[in-house]
Amino acid sequence: MKTPLAFLAGLLALSSAALAQNRLAYGANIGWIDFAPDAGASVHVGENFLSGDAHSANCGWIHFGDTPDNGVSYANIRPPDIGVNHDGCGTLSGFAYGANIGWINFGWTADNSDPNRPWFDLTTGQFHGFAYSANCGWINLGAGYLAIDRIEHPDADGDGIDDIWEHKWFGDLTTAGVGTDADGDGQSDAAEYAADTDPLQASDFLRIVSHSYANGHTEVTLVFTTQPSRLYQLQHSTDLVTWSDSGLGTFAPDPDGKTTRTFSFSGTARHFFRACAVLPLTP
């Protein structure tokens, strides 16, 4: 497969409810594709899949899927369970479909190190890479014109847990609820969702695994468990009531399931620290 060439053009600053920063992709053979053509039709990004419609003035509507049969991700084997997935970390796969142009492939490479793979950044919402259409060629997602400001988290039963996440781990919306703890590890299922840890494995939960001090106990280095699908904050307190940010703000985790960060604080007789998971792109 040929390496796609980047397309450069003047920035078109457009906005909408679903894609509030920029909303355009570009195909050299088909022109601009609008991911939010109007309030009633746009592409939406959920916990694990995309849905809705984009529009090309030259090619018409392009459908990204509705809702997967299993509520989690499209199987992409046969219609109607076909659409565009993402792995929770922003890497895209699967297919969109335009009646006038056929299939658009977002999973043309399984190599996550490929710089041209289609993905979006969990910190900025910016899309990168290319999708591919056998009839239209490469479609550039990453020239700086396409970004989301939120990942949508539907919660039909109002239990504070994303419906997609509940279907992924429990197969329904009734097993997990307010105050449930399926694996009995002391972390509620809602807390496991917030950290994207395994709610059925008691050894998997967000925790600080080591700490060390320097500079007269005014600097701490924390090592804590992390997931690539979440962002993080570190906080500190002297009374377990009022918590202050570490000064590091919200940040992406290190690879390999553990993250190390160092920050300074005012020395006191006692000090408490905690790691907090943050849902990415959630206003």
Copy the structure tokens of residue 242.
């009022």
**The dihedral formed by the CA atoms of 85, 90, 91 and 96, expressed in degrees to the nearest 10:** 40
Confidence of residue 3 (pLDDT cuts 50, 70, 90): very low
Q: What is the mean pLDDT of residues 172-187?
A: 97
Instruction: Render pLDDT for 45-103 as a digit per residue (tens, 0 to 9).
Output: 999 999 999 999 999 999 999 999 999 999 999 999 999 999 999 999 999 999 999 99
Rounded CA separation 249/242 (Å): 17
Copy the structure tokens of residue 111.
């190599």
Question: Would the pTM count as exceeding 0.85?
Answer: yes
Rounded CA separation 201/198 (Å): 5
Rounded CA separation 236/69 (Å): 43
- Amino acid, res. 196: D
The DSSP secondary-structure symbol of 238 reads S
Q: Give the 3-state secondary structure of residue 29.
A: coil
Confidence of residue 267 (pLDDT cuts 50, 70, 90): confident
